[in-house]
Structure 1
Amino acid sequence: MSRQPPPVRSTFRTFMDQQTRWSDNDVYGHMNNVVHYKLFDTAINRWLIDAGLLDLRGGGLIGLVVETGCRYHAEAAFPDTITAGIAVTRLGTSSVTYEIGLFRNSEETAFADGRFVHVYVDLSTRRPVALPDDWRKKLAEICR
């Protein structure tokens, strides 16, 4: 079984820059695997906030992570600058599947890529709700 190659920057339509921190490195001298998931989560939520969709203080809709995955292709470490490419690969009634590619400095090929599946729920009841039209329209802009 052959492994799918890592994505390249042109795979994605929107990007978020993030700076690595000294504490991201582990005893082996590279970024610890759990940091990749933090970068995914930060990129997606930052994009949602910047797009005017996620309101951390007054919004009634939040995304709960129900599935994640990551493939590692190369190392990254502090002081690398990381660019996260973000795409929506599935837009369901109440769920969204995001694909994220992590790019080190100015490299064109991702050193890691992954997916996050969010189910959007009402903040109070924690029950799934259909994505509002404004969410669907904005998410469609980064669909692949």
Structure 2
Amino acid sequence: MSYAHWETVPTRWKDNDVYGHVNNVVHYTFMDTVINNWLINEGGLDIHEGEVIGLCVESHCNYHASLTFPESAAVGLRVGHLGNSSVRYEVGIHRADRSELIAEGHFVHVFVDRTTRRPVPLQDPLRAALTRLRVAP
């Protein structure tokens, strides 16, 4: 699978569980981190003061292999669907050298007015940044 953006995310000591591997909830943290880094750095999303915020309305992850601290993960990000006020991200978590797929999932944001929590249309530069994450099948 191809991704429009890659980011390296380190594991932390506390990410390992009693079974000796990175716990499943950490994979969602990886997804959330890479997505929000993109939204803030590339899309100009102001998470503290902006009128628009993104709410997660759906997430899913399939697990294929394990990571263990102190490994880092190479996280690939792309947009699978871009709607009027929503976006479905597709995320692949790989070994740092991208040799093995560890987990893959999706994450859906609906962008809403911070005060009313009602959906709002995506505006530039956010829409432009998300459009750059589209990858042809």
Query: Partners of 1:30 and 1:100 in 2: how far apart?
Result: 20
TM-score, normalising length: structure 1: 0.89
The residue type paired with residue 56 of structure 2 is V
For residues 71-120 of structure 1, what are the alpha-carbon distances to aligned partners after superposition, in whole Å with 9 as ceiling and x for unaligned? 10100010001121100000001000000111122133321010000000
CA contact (8 A) 1:69 1:114 kept: yes
Q: How does 1:1-144 map to 2 (within 5 A)?
A: 7=1, 11-144=2-135
5+ residue gaps, structure 1, are 1-6
What's the offset of the Cα at 1:54? 1.2
Q: Which moved more, 1:100-109 or 1:27-36?
A: 100-109
TM-score, normalising length: structure 2: 0.93
Query: Partners of 1:109 and 1:53 in 2: how far apart?
Result: 32
SS in 2 for 1:45: helix
The number of residues matched between the two structures is: 135
5+ residue gaps, structure 2, are none
Which contiguous aligned blocks of 4+ residues in structure 1 show a shift greater than 3 angstroms? none
CA contact (8 A) 2:74 2:98 kept: no
Query: Partners of 2:71 and 2:25 in 1: how far apart?
Result: 16
What's the offset of the Cα at 1:140? 0.7
Query: Partners of 1:109 and 1:19 in 2: how far apart?
Result: 16
SS in 1 for 2:26: helix
SS in 1 for 2:121: coil
Q: Percent identity?
A: 49
Q: Give the superposed CA RMSD.
A: 1.1
What's the offset of the Cα at 1:58? 2.4
Query: Partners of 1:50 and 1:134 in 2: how far apart?
Result: 11
The residue type paired with residue 69 of structure 1 is H
What's the offset of the Cα at 1:133? 3.2
SS in 1 for 2:25: helix
CA contact (8 A) 2:86 2:108 kept: yes
